[in-house]
Structure 1
Amino acid sequence: MKKFVISAALAGGLFLAPTAADAAFGDNTLRVGMSNGEVSQLQETLKEEGHFNHSVTGYFGPITRQAVIDFQREQNIQVDGIVGPQTFGEMNVSGNGSSTTTSTSSNQTQVAGASTTSNATGIVNTAKSLQGTPYVWGGTSPSGFDCSGFIQYAFNQNGKSIPRTVSEMYNASTKVSNPQVGDLVFFETRTGPSHAGIYIGNNQFVHSGSSTGVTVASLSNSYWSQTYIGAGRI
């Protein structure tokens, strides 16, 4: 697969609504409803690959989503219409907006060269970007998640395969006394490990709750502090 080169003219002329931090193409997850320069670059990249045959607008609407889906199908990766780390990786785009030199012929090859810290950051960024997604029993996609489906999706989007159920995640994890960003936090809401979330720092975790959908919660909350049974690292 060819690598994509973002030209200086594109970088300077197509940013419609740059953020204060001037995030580079590849830093942020892109999804329907967003409107900024990163989406413009995405559209240009998809156009180069032959999946986007429309004017560059910088708005991530249904047409752009379909182009992303077509690209994901072509690359044989998870098809969800959202541009996260896995999709960026297949575009050979790194977080600084440049093409990567690491082969992306397989997700495992890409992840093997990534640091634990950067991988954890990617997982957390993906998880936080999904806030507001509704809870769906058995859900494993951005149309709806259950608690373990949400965690598995966030990890898969960053090239890391983990078990499907909370109890399997708990058994597969290395237990830690003090969770770090990207670790899993487990709760006993029924008998045994029955709920989990992704720790994001500052005593907070992001999870898919049955009554809240994907949201951020605090370990200091009276309910979560009483049902908390520990943290694990996968």
Structure 2
Amino acid sequence: MQKRYSKMGFTVFAIVLVIFLSANIVQADYGYTTLKMGMRGSDVSTLQTKLKSLGYFNNNVTGYFGSITKNSVIRFQKANGLYADGIVGKNTYRALNNSSAAALSSRGTVERASGSNIVATAKSYMGVPYVWGGTSPSGFDCSGFVHYVYGKYGIWLPRTTESLYPTGTYVTKANLRAGDLVFFTTYAPGASHVGIYIGNGDFIHASSSKGVTISNLSNSYYAQRYFGAKRVM
């Protein structure tokens, strides 16, 4: 009898655990990770930075989605005719992208996003060292580099390679054009490395061994590990 109750207790615990995880783990939404109160990380930092640039967030960037960040999101959502729940899902992401691009362009701080502009900006960081988790010109990792370059044009992309891959439109290797994102399977299954295609079979990326550098898709290492490409503009 005691074993039976123990087994029942474990089953109840397992069910409660599943419910708890389901309520607290947010799945990717159109390639973006839905952000809500209580979350932490680089995506939250990017959100706070974007809101700050638009005048909705006046505090320090902390990477923690607390009540101040939630209220800032709600103000942004109300101003843009969105459902004001303080949760950043696909519609809020899109509005942030559009608002960011419009706001930055109105101040004359960015040019129109195009393949040639993206490539020129990416090339300007040639030689910047590789830093795991790096998102600035003092050091980039592969997705941090892409995130930063596109961010210069008001285009907000997911921070990690894994969450970046579902974004955009699939492109065949034969139809690649400058500015497309190319993905590779390297240290982990699936998309685990990303670069920016620049034309003639070349792509620019933050290599763990060379920093920001240019490689060719026909290179034996990358040719064997090519995973796919996406167009995000």
Residues 115, 177 of structure 2: 8 Å contact kept = no
Q: 2: distance between equivalents of 1:107 and 1:122?
A: 17
Match of 2:132 in 1: 137
Question: Structure 2 counterpart of 1:183, which letter?
Answer: D
Give 1:133 deviation, angstroms.
0.1
Q: 1: distance between equivalents of 2:131 and 2:53?
A: 25
Match of 2:184 in 1: 187
Q: 2: distance between equivalents of 1:117 and 1:143?
A: 25
The answer to whether structure 1 residue 122 and structure 2 residue 120 are counterparts is no
Q: Larger Rg: 1 or 2?
A: 2
Match of 1:108 in 2: 101
Match of 1:147 in 2: 142
Residues 132, 140 of structure 2: 8 Å contact kept = yes
Unmatched runs of 5 consecutive residues or more in structure 1: 1-74, 78-105
Structure 1 pair 111–220 and aligned structure 2 pair: CA distance change class (3 A) = farther
More helix by share: 2
Q: 2: distance between equivalents of 1:176 and 1:167?
A: 17
Q: 1: distance between equivalents of 2:113 and 2:168?
A: 19
CA offsets per residue over residues 138-183 of structure 1, 9 Å max, x none? 0000000000000000000112111001111101121111211000
Give the 5 Å matches for 1:1-234: 76=53, 107-109=100-102, 119-177=114-172, 178-189=175-186, 190-234=188-232
Q: 2: distance between equivalents of 1:112 and 1:231?
A: 28
Classify the secondary structure of the residue corresponding to 2:165. helix
Residues 119, 158 of structure 1: 8 Å contact kept = no
Give 1:127 deviation, angstroms.
0.5
Structure 1 pair 170–112 and aligned structure 2 pair: CA distance change class (3 A) = farther
Question: Structure 1 counterpart of 2:133, which letter?
Answer: G
Q: 2: distance between equivalents of 1:133 and 1:221?
A: 22
Question: Structure 1 counterpart of 2:198, which letter?
Answer: I
Give 1:121 deviation, angstroms.
1.7
Give 1:76 deviation, angstroms.
4.4
Q: 1: distance between equivalents of 2:53 and 2:168?
A: 28
Question: Structure 2 counterpart of 1:133, which letter?
Answer: V
Root-mean-square deviation over aligned CA pairs: 2.4
Q: 2: distance between equivalents of 1:137 and 1:191?
A: 18
Q: 2: distance between equivalents of 1:129 and 1:164?
A: 21
Q: 2: distance between equivalents of 1:155 and 1:210?
A: 20
Classify the secondary structure of the residue corresponding to 1:230. strand
Give 1:119 deviation, angstroms.
2.1
- Say how many residue pairs are matched: 130
CA offsets per residue over residues 178-205 of structure 1, 9 Å max, x none? 2110000000112110001000000000
Match of 1:99 in 2: none
Q: 2: distance between equivalents of 1:198 and 1:173?
A: 14
Structure 1 pair 128–233 and aligned structure 2 pair: CA distance change class (3 A) = same
Question: Structure 2 counterpart of 1:219, which letter?
Answer: L
Question: Structure 2 counterpart of 1:194, which letter?
Answer: S
Structure 1 pair 146–205 and aligned structure 2 pair: CA distance change class (3 A) = same
Classify the secondary structure of the residue corresponding to 1:224. helix
Question: Structure 1 counterpart of 2:149, which letter?
Answer: A
Structure 1 pair 111–182 and aligned structure 2 pair: CA distance change class (3 A) = farther
